[in-house]
Chain A
């Protein structure tokens, strides 16, 4: 089947620390991969995406590389800020499909 597994939170970091949130996937076809972010009290919004192997998505200092050999799409940021505190969701969609498969989400809290 199709599924996404991401590291369990919560994750608490100090400002300017390095962030990694692990995400691995299982897919029956060739997926596109996404990271969505949900800030407190808001809906989800797209953070970055990659549509094929070895693609790197990047946005707002975050980046993730589509690794087909390890079926992974880990999210990284070199120096987090308090404003990055949010819940992060990894997701996939199969070529030709309409619906996303989401991971369970990882809550990140950044303290000053």
Chain B
């Protein structure tokens, strides 16, 4: 079974803090994704990575950056957290190509 883990289930941060969300997968998949999930908006893609040190912007990259130094780990960084970044963040992974994505359990981030 594919296992995708995220570093925290719940996180509370203050406005202006730098926030790191970590995602680790154990299946040697090339592709990794970061989404945010908001009520009434579904899932929106922030960034994805198709290889180590490679990244592409998704639909809503503003205010976020990512890092992929190792194949199994994909980090989402909020350089200066703002209240409108309060959301559920979901990491996903899949082998290369258009295929089923496997999701982590999510991190619910609250920015005060």
Given contacts A43-B106, A99-B48, contact A34 B100 (CB under 8 A): yes
CB A27 to nearest CB in B, in angstroms, measures 12
Could you tell me if B98 and A44 are in contact, using CB atoms closer than 8 angstroms? no
Q: Which of A45, A94, A104 contacts B98 (CB 8 A)?
A: A94
B-contacting residues, A14-46, CB 8 Å: 32, 34, 36, 41-46
CA distance A93 to B99 in the complex (A): 8
Report B42-64 CB contacts with A as 1/0, cut-off 8 Å: 11110010100000001000000
Q: Is A49 an interface residue (CB 8 A)?
A: yes
Using Cβ atoms and an 8 Å threshold, which residues of chain B touch A34?
100
Could you tell me if A99 and B58 are in contact, using CB atoms closer than 8 angstroms? yes
**CB nearest neighbor in B for A104:** B42
Those 4 A-B pairs whose CB atoms lie nearest each other, nearest first = A43-B103, A104-B42, A102-B43, A44-B103
19 extra interchain contacts, Cβ-Cβ under 8 A, other than A42-B106, A99-B48? Answer: A36-B103, A43-B4, A44-B90, A44-B103, A46-B100, A93-B98, A94-B98, A95-B98, A96-B97, A97-B98, A98-B97, A99-B45, A99-B58, A100-B43, A100-B45, A100-B101, A102-B35, A104-B40, A104-B42
